[in-house]
């Protein structure tokens, strides 16, 4: 079996395309998927430098997001049949290999109008955005929402989903040129943090403390500066720390305005819950009805996997990067 493997030799990490990987075992509650597309995420980069230490350890078959065709079902599987088109999230990684065994609860069946390419493009980023806004953030049409890293994959999904319910969307980017796509998606204001002091610009246009919901993947000083923009009783939702962990004054910042703070990882949401099932149904219907645009930046051949990783690592990518496995 062919697939991408990450190995750790001494303190150095190495990615390679292996041709003799062992075919995965299948237990009674799992399905065997012939993987067609893998979706590249920031967590995949982190697994290559040890900052996202996977519980399975190294060597590790890479990839957490995928789409493909069900080839075999375990004896206790109830929701899937051979031939079903699916997308999913593999907690145990291995999604950048030709075959993958995953629990049936980690997989969603794709409707006919959602392609396998779209399935791998939406599953992690769009699902994360939906739960940040709805399950945790409880977004409302009256809200002003501030989204940092709005020009990235999750940010573009957040923008479209927030505008879909009627919210006002403000965003910041850390790379010049990334303002264009969120504005095309309906964002009301997008600021380049490298050129503008975003807090002052937002206060000049929307007032001293206009933001009810802050969605942040940056952490550190960007998050800390954002507290000046928050309404009393506002909600801060974190899903990453690209610039560093929140400062030690986080508690005092929350107390000062009676803010609530949440940290989301979609792996912690029950995939059989009403919230999860509603998200999957809503997202696929929006894709079907062309109310949600998926920005696929590039699809790389499996043999060009290093170029895919390098492209994501450049931080210049706005849309999704896919790896074509089959």
CA distance 287 to 256: 41
Residues 160-196: tens digit of each pLDDT: 999 999 999 999 999 899 999 999 999 999 999 999 9
Question: Residue 318: is its pLDDT beyond 90?
Answer: no
Label each residue of 204-255 as H, E or C. Answer: HHHCCCCEEEEEECCEHHHHHHHHHHEEEEEEEEECCCCCECCCCCHHHHHH
Question: Residue 52: is its pLDDT beyond 80?
Answer: no
Residues 128-144: tens digit of each pLDDT: 999 999 999 999 999 99
Q: How many CB atoms lie within 10 A of CB 140?
A: 12
What's the confidence (pLDDT) of residue 243?
83
Q: If pLDDT is split at 50, 70 and 90, which confidence band does 54 have?
A: confident
Most distant CA atoms of the chain, gap in Å: 62
Residues 274-286: tens digit of each pLDDT: 999 999 999 999 9
What's the confidence (pLDDT) of residue 170?
98
Which domains does the chain show, CATH number per domain? Answer: 3-123+295-324 (3.90.180.10), 126-267 (3.40.50.720)
Question: Residue 53: is its pLDDT beyond 70?
Answer: no
What's the confidence (pLDDT) of residue 267?
85
Question: Residue 123: is its pLDDT beyond 70?
Answer: yes
Whether the CB-CB separation of 182 and 171 falls below 8 Å is answered with: yes
Residues 211-248: tens digit of each pLDDT: 999 999 999 999 999 999 999 999 999 998 888 889 99
Question: Residue 271: is its pLDDT beyond 70?
Answer: yes
What is the pTM assigned to this prediction?
Answer: 0.94
What's the confidence (pLDDT) of residue 242?
80
Percent of the chain with pLDDT over 70: 99
What's the confidence (pLDDT) of residue 157?
97
Average pLDDT, the chain: 95
Q: Picking from 6-10, 211-215, 275-279, 300-304, which range would have the lowest pLDDT averaged per residue?
A: 6-10
Looking at the chain, how many residues does it have? 326
């Amino acid at each position: 079996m062919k697939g991408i493997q990450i190995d750790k030799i001494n303190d150095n990490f190495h990615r390679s395309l292996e041709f003799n990987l062992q075919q995965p075992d299948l237990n009674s509650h799992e399905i065997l998927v012939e993987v067609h597309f893998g979706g590249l995420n920031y967590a995949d980069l982190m697994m290559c430098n040890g900052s996202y230490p996977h519980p399975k350890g190294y060597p590790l078959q890479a990839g957490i997001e995928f789409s493909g065709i069900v080839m075999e079902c375990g004896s206790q599987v109830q929701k899937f049949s051979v031939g079903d088109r699916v997308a999913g999230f593999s907690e145990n990684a291995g999604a950048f290999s030709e075959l993958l065994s995953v629990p049936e609860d980690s997989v969603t069946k794709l409707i006919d109008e959602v392609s396998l390419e779209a399935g791998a493009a939406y599953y992690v980023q769009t699902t994360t955005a939906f739960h940040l806004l709805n399950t945790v953030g409880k977004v409302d049409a009256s809200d002003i929402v501030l989204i940092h890293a709005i020009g990235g994959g999750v940010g573009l999904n957040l923008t479209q989903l927030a505008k879909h319910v009627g919210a006002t969307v403000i965003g910041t980017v850390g790379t010049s040129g990334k303002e264009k796509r969120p504005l095309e998606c309906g964002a009301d204001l997008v600021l380049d943090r490298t050129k503008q002091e975003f807090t002052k610009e937002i206060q000049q246009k929307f007032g001293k403390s206009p933001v009810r919901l802050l969605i942040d993947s940056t952490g550190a000083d960007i998050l800390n500066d954002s507290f000046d923009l928050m309404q009393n009783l506002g909600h801060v939702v974190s899903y990453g720390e690209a610039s560093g962990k929140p400062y030690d004054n986080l508690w005092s910042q929350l107390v000062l305005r009676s803010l609530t703070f949440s940290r989301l990882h979609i792996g912690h949401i029950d995939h059989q819950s009403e919230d999860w099932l509603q998200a999957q149904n809503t997202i696929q219907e929006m894709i079907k009805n062309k109310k949600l645009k998926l920005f696929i930046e590039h699809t790389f051949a499996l043999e060009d996997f290093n170029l895919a990783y390098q492209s994501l690592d450049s931080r210049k990518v706005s849309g999704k990067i896919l790896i074509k496995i089959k």
